[in-house]
Amino acid sequence: MSPDFQAVLDDIATTLQPECGMAGQVASYIPALARVPAAQFGIALRTCKGEEALAGDATTPFSIQSISKLFTLTLAMRRMGEDLWDRIGREPSGNPFNSLVQLENEQGKPRNPFINAGAIAVADRLVSLGNARADVLAFLSDLAGELVDFDEEVAASEAETGFRNVALANFMKSFGKIDNAVAEVLDLYFHQCAVRMNCVQLARAAGFLSRDGAHPVHRRKQVTTERQARRINALMLTCGTYDAAGDVAFSIGLPCKSGVGGGIVAVVPDHLTLCVWSPALDATGNSLLGLKALELFVAKTGLSVF
Amino acid sequence: MSPDFQAVLDDIATTLQPECGMAGQVASYIPALARVPAAQFGIALRTCKGEEALAGDATTPFSIQSISKLFTLTLAMRRMGEDLWDRIGREPSGNPFNSLVQLENEQGKPRNPFINAGAIAVADRLVSLGNARADVLAFLSDLAGELVDFDEEVAASEAETGFRNVALANFMKSFGKIDNAVAEVLDLYFHQCAVRMNCVQLARAAGFLSRDGAHPVHRRKQVTTERQARRINALMLTCGTYDAAGDVAFSIGLPCKSGVGGGIVAVVPDHLTLCVWSPALDATGNSLLGLKALELFVAKTGLSVF
Amino acid sequence: MSPDFQAVLDDIATTLQPECGMAGQVASYIPALARVPAAQFGIALRTCKGEEALAGDATTPFSIQSISKLFTLTLAMRRMGEDLWDRIGREPSGNPFNSLVQLENEQGKPRNPFINAGAIAVADRLVSLGNARADVLAFLSDLAGELVDFDEEVAASEAETGFRNVALANFMKSFGKIDNAVAEVLDLYFHQCAVRMNCVQLARAAGFLSRDGAHPVHRRKQVTTERQARRINALMLTCGTYDAAGDVAFSIGLPCKSGVGGGIVAVVPDHLTLCVWSPALDATGNSLLGLKALELFVAKTGLSVF
Amino acid sequence: MSPDFQAVLDDIATTLQPECGMAGQVASYIPALARVPAAQFGIALRTCKGEEALAGDATTPFSIQSISKLFTLTLAMRRMGEDLWDRIGREPSGNPFNSLVQLENEQGKPRNPFINAGAIAVADRLVSLGNARADVLAFLSDLAGELVDFDEEVAASEAETGFRNVALANFMKSFGKIDNAVAEVLDLYFHQCAVRMNCVQLARAAGFLSRDGAHPVHRRKQVTTERQARRINALMLTCGTYDAAGDVAFSIGLPCKSGVGGGIVAVVPDHLTLCVWSPALDATGNSLLGLKALELFVAKTGLSVF
């Protein structure tokens, strides 16, 4: 018998309420993120059977940022299959998400698709396939069951200040690992990071990861094969939370993908997909209350992959 | 209904038979390992309910090497609890298992307990607790249900040629991260690597990891808490197979710990623990046929944490 | 009594003639450099007293490339004095000239003004001072006593393919170490590298370095202070020949600055300035015959700073 | 006409007197160094013609530490010639003197003979030649014109606490770059660092470096060839003062070799050799007043290689 998930989420929201906005730092590198009020918390889940539960600010949209890497990776895997991995590795990086050191040691091949360099390499693949910005939006909207859109202010700010990402893309290009013009690739990358979604939409959109690749709503449709869904979960577990992935696996034990907007998507294979959001980040760039909520969730439900 | 595991193992052994000894390289840095015939393959498992299955050379003893790190970590976690993590991280390293670079950047604190530096730091903790060599043997013998012992020739060879490990230990000591005399710590480390066990014994000994920490034989006895067992599984998944951990998670999706003797222990939480052995290694230092056998096992049974 | 320099240069040219174009590789990363015939060799010197000697292709213009770093550094030191060193170090790098690793470790501050990152940081300083492209040309023309100009084809090719330099500049900018727009800074950088000069002009232009900073032609005019001239010589000796600087100091013992166009400027303080050119490079990116010519020169004249 | 060196040294000593012991830190990693009173300053020089001048505590013996690397290198060059360079590079390291990172990248070959790893590799070469400890003492005593000896307390302390050096030696041995037993090599290394000499003795002992290799006292005897003397000077300039070598070349412009005992030997080729000593070190591990004294010396005399 499955737990009463609505009660679990309510309980988590109540427990964390006093800490909300009290610690951590909202991402401040662009104004549109810096002015998001810290004292917000939302959580939502969708089970494999389609039940949904939510609590707190679960319908407030936020900037999904690096969570977008999960969906662009999925798109690229659908389109390209195994060829994708010629350009991108599958190993944890052991370095900050925007580090150039490892890229230099490994001749411009990013360690995995969730560090910035890897996601930029994925974006390059999607640009080669054509119509990439529209495709990403259509894909996310279909999965979420609602239209989603870019926040153009955020995209413009990222483009204005994203010198490190410009460096990463040019560095990979200097190794012949980016095919398209850097400006076009980064236009997609900055836009995908600037998608606005809420917890309910993200829990639904990533639902295929707990359903062996089956579409969150249309069970007959496969978003990915079962094997691909498992593999994406594996990448999330080993590489999905920046340089804290090992610690998150250790203390939470679920495949997760986080973003500096404060969102975290987590998967319990064969059970449910979860999204939690709270804008204040810890030192590793992951949502402080988001991680706490996931720890509570695992403790209360006993759900974990291990 | 659980699959017919004996049939699955027989099938795997038969499938891999033609490849046995045809590719990969037996570890050659010490004579006692170099002379092990490559063309051997064994596999064994034990379910949570105590059923056992085995195939091939599953009762031939081999040098467990880095698989020992799994058990010394468990011992240290039992004895020290959370204090252990003051000295050792829990993140994948992104560098070769015996690299000194990351140690230097991180002031002598190893990234995780499964790289050599981390295992040496664990050994130092055990030496501080006293009677370490005997304790390790007693712990392994109790878990395996049979007496196990050191291969003194291997231990002596490791000690004679282990300059890199001497370097790692002294380097950590220079940062104040090793309390005991380096010679004493390495004596334990070289001995733990030199334990001889077979697949059946290892599948049994690591059984607590698929049983929420319960003793493989005496269900009333807890080897670790449930939480600790989960955490060890998480470490195995993210860090257990050297610099191939991401790839192993991606393609196999089970917590694994490998050794250069050619053994790999794998865990399917709540189902079973598995040990496969074949001496020829791939370029990442993991057993070539061992990894193939695990891929086949996952494909045939559908068991995977994701 | 000073040696008969004309005879020395003739002798060097004759000695090296059989090797000319037989080994090494012409820089091939842009077409305009790749099509330069390898079998060319020129050498020229100018003593502190104004005597000149030349041999071989000493009046054939070539792309000065990184030799330009010597003159932009001099310009920046003239204009900014000690403030320049807030942004740029003075230590050898121990890494390839276009490496990003050290930049990351040292928060975007280049190790010295002769690695690419350092020269780009110098270019940024000159852009801030205004009118930089014209200033560089005017400065070089005044020192050489003849009008010199950019090779616009080379500058355009550098800009089209210089992804690594775009990466370096954006990387520094991400650390707040570049004030101006990256495009503007790199426009200067790519142009300064594309200046065309010949050996005679360069020996004259760098003459102030052997004359305690005095202008090569107008002795009353100081290009730099005596102290600054000494300091530039010191930087050339420790950092002027990419990652071969230690070896060049060891085997030649003169301050040198080389470029991938095949030119090398060398200084014998209080005696003379020398320029040698041959397009084929050794593995370290320095002119193969250029270094041999300098070794011969030192052996024949006994001139060395040590 | 040469300056009145005695007056110059007196002047320097007087100028620095008020700062003596006021800033910097005496090396504290072993008790025998930690208890040396900071407020000491000595300076001595010997010209090529044999004139000597001294001021302050120039006859107080101190621990020569890394200055010994200069003399063991000289001994090894005398004995082995060019073969020495198969095991040791000649490039500045761009990393701290006891770093392991570069060693790992470069397969155990130290960048130069003045970082610890390089000096240990030199010690290994001398051990292979036999009778090394006695040879080093005899060589130094002959050059200094007086018997010099090891400080056994210092040597013993270095051995007890030198874990980093043990790590370096074992690390190189793991790459096959050390032939002898690590313990024997380090016994020599720790002893050479523990030699006690004073400024007068060191200025005399290093005199061959300003005399084209000629023995400081017996002009007919060559300590090294002229070419070797020049090369050692080049190495001192590019690598002799730890990670400050570029800065020292820039601001002082003389070949120098420093030690954490507070001594610095400096060479003005064809003029004189100088030794300055003051125990308090700056952040780069060089004597704070020692470097200031050398800057003053260069400013007052105009002597510099550039």
Provide, as residue numbers in chain D, all residues whose Cβ is less than 8 Å from the Cβ of C91. Answer: 92, 94, 243-247
Q: What is the pLDDT of residue A96?
A: 63
Stated as kind and residue range, the H or E segment containing C127 is helix C116-129
Q: What is the pLDDT of residue D97?
A: 58
User: What is the average pLDDT score of chain A?
Assistant: 95
Nearest to A174 among C104, C163, C169 (CB): C163
Stretch(es) of chain D classified as CATH 3.40.710.10: 5-62+199-301, 66-193
Provide, as residue numbers in chain A, all residues whose Cβ is less than 8 Å from the Cβ of B253. Answer: 230-231, 233-234
Q: How far apart are the first and last CA of chain B?
A: 20
Provide, as residue numbers in chain B, all residues whose Cβ is less than 8 Å from the Cβ of D168. Answer: 167
Interchain CB contact of B233 with A (< 8 Å): yes
B5-65+198-301: CATH class: alpha beta
Provide, as residue numbers in chain C, all residues whose Cβ is less than 8 Å from the Cβ of A163. Answer: 170-171, 173-174, 182
Among A250, A251, A257, A270, the strongest candidate for a mutation testing the B interface, having the largest count of B CBs within 10 A, is: A250
**Which residues of C are known to be catalytic?**
66, 69, 189, 242, 260
Cβ-Cβ contacts under 8 Å between A and B: the total is: 107
Closest alpha carbon to C131 in C66, C65, C191, C176: C191
Tell me how far apart the alpha carbons of residues C150 and C196 are, in angstroms, rounded to a whole number. Answer: 6
For residue A95, which amino acid is it?
Answer: N
Average pLDDT (B72-99) is 88
Interchain CB contact of B92 with A (< 8 Å): yes
Q: What is the CA radius of gyration of chain C?
A: 18
Provide, as residue numbers in chain D, all residues whose Cβ is less than 8 Å from the Cβ of B104. Answer: 99-101
Q: What is the pLDDT of residue B98?
A: 65
DSSP assignment of D187-233, as one string? HHHHHHHTEEE-HHHHHHHGGGGGTTTB-SS-TTSBSS-HHHHHHHH
Q: Quick one: B66-193 is in which CATH superfamily?
A: DD-peptidase/beta-lactamase superfamily (3.40.710.10)
Nearest to B246 among A238, A251, A269 (CB): A238
**Residue A277 token pair:** 């959001």
Interchain CB contact of B239 with A (< 8 Å): yes
Provide, as residue numbers in chain A, all residues whose Cβ is less than 8 Å from the Cβ of C167. Answer: 100, 166-171, 174
**Which residues of D are known to be catalytic?**
66, 69, 189, 242, 260
A5-62+197-301: CATH class: alpha beta
Q: What is the pLDDT of residues A53-86, one digit of tens each?
A: 999 999 999 999 999 999 999 999 999 989 999 9
Return the higher-pLDDT residue of A203 and D242. A203
In sequence order, which residues have a C-beta less than 8 Å from that of residue C305 and are 6 or more positions away?
C237, C253, C254, C255, C268, C269, D269, D305, D306
Average pLDDT (B137-163) is 96
Residue C7 has pLDDT above 80, yes or no: yes
**Residue B209 token pair:** 């990891």
Closest alpha carbon to D275 in D288, D289, D290, D285: D290
Site of tokens 């290799």 = D213
Chain C nearest C-alpha distance from D104 (Å): 14
Q: What is the pLDDT of residue D146?
A: 96
Tell me how far apart the alpha carbons of residues C100 and C165 are, in angstroms, rounded to a whole number. Answer: 10
ipTM score: 0.94
D5-62+199-301: CATH class: alpha beta
In sequence order, which residues have a C-beta less than 8 Å from that of residue B65 and are 6 or more positions away?
B27, B193, B259, B260, B261, B263
Q: What is the pLDDT of residue A58?
A: 98
Stretch(es) of chain B classified as CATH 3.40.710.10: 5-65+198-301, 66-193
Maximum separation of any 2 CA atoms in chain B, in Å:
55
Query: Which whole-number Å values give the CA distances from A130 to A35, A159, A169, A179, in the listed order?
Result: 34, 21, 19, 13
Interchain CB contact of A131 with C (< 8 Å): no
Site of tokens 């040469």 = D2
**Residue C74 token pair:** 């001099």
Q: Identify the closest residue of chain D to C227 by CA–CA distance.
A: D251
pLDDT confidence of B97, banded at 50, 70, 90?
A: low
The verdict on whether A189 is a catalytic residue reads yes
Stretch(es) of chain A classified as CATH 3.40.710.10: 5-62+197-301, 66-193
pLDDT confidence of C218, banded at 50, 70, 90?
A: confident
Q: What is the pLDDT of residue D221?
A: 93
Tell me how far apart the alpha carbons of residues C273 and C207 are, in angstroms, rounded to a whole number. Answer: 5
Q: Are strands C263-268 and B42-47 parallel, antiparallel or unpaired?
A: unpaired
Is C158 annotated among the ligand-binding residues? yes
Per-residue pLDDT of chain D (306 residues; tens, 9 = 90+): 578 999 999 999 999 999 999 999 999 999 999 999 999 999 999 999 999 999 999 999 999 999 999 999 999 999 998 999 999 999 987 666 567 777 877 889 999 999 999 999 999 999 999 999 999 999 999 999 999 999 999 999 999 999 999 999 999 999 999 999 999 999 999 999 999 999 999 999 999 999 999 998 887 899 999 999 999 999 999 999 988 999 999 999 999 999 999 999 999 999 999 999 999 999 999 999 999 999 999 999 999 999
Stretch(es) of chain C classified as CATH 3.40.710.10: 5-64+196-301, 66-193
Q: Identify the closest residue of chain D to B168 by CA–CA distance.
A: D167
Neighbours of chain D (3+ CB pairs under 8 A): B, C
Residue A102 has pLDDT above 90, yes or no: no
Determine which one of A189, A210, A267, A278 is catalytic. A189
Share of chain B above pLDDT 90, in %: 90
Residue A98 has pLDDT above 70, yes or no: no
Q: By three-state DSSP, how is residue B184 classified?
A: helix
Q: What is the pLDDT of residue A70?
A: 98
Closest alpha carbon to C277 in C26, C30, C46, C35: C26
Determine which one of A260, A265, A267, A268 is catalytic. A260
Interchain CB contact of A167 with C (< 8 Å): yes
Q: What is the CA radius of gyration of chain D?
A: 18
Q: What is the pLDDT of residue B242?
A: 87
Asked if the Cβ–Cβ distance from A238 to B305 is below 8 Å, we say: no
CATH fold, domain C5-64+196-301, is: Beta-lactamase (3.40.710)
Closest alpha carbon to C103 in C115, B60, B153: C115
Query: D45 φ, ψ to 5°?
Result: -145, 160
Q: What is the pLDDT of residue C216?
A: 87
Q: What is the CA radius of gyration of chain A?
A: 18
Residue B75 has pLDDT above 70, yes or no: yes
Residues A294, A276 contacting (CB under 8 angstroms): yes
Tell me how far apart the alpha carbons of residues D306 and D292 are, in angstroms, rounded to a whole number. Answer: 18
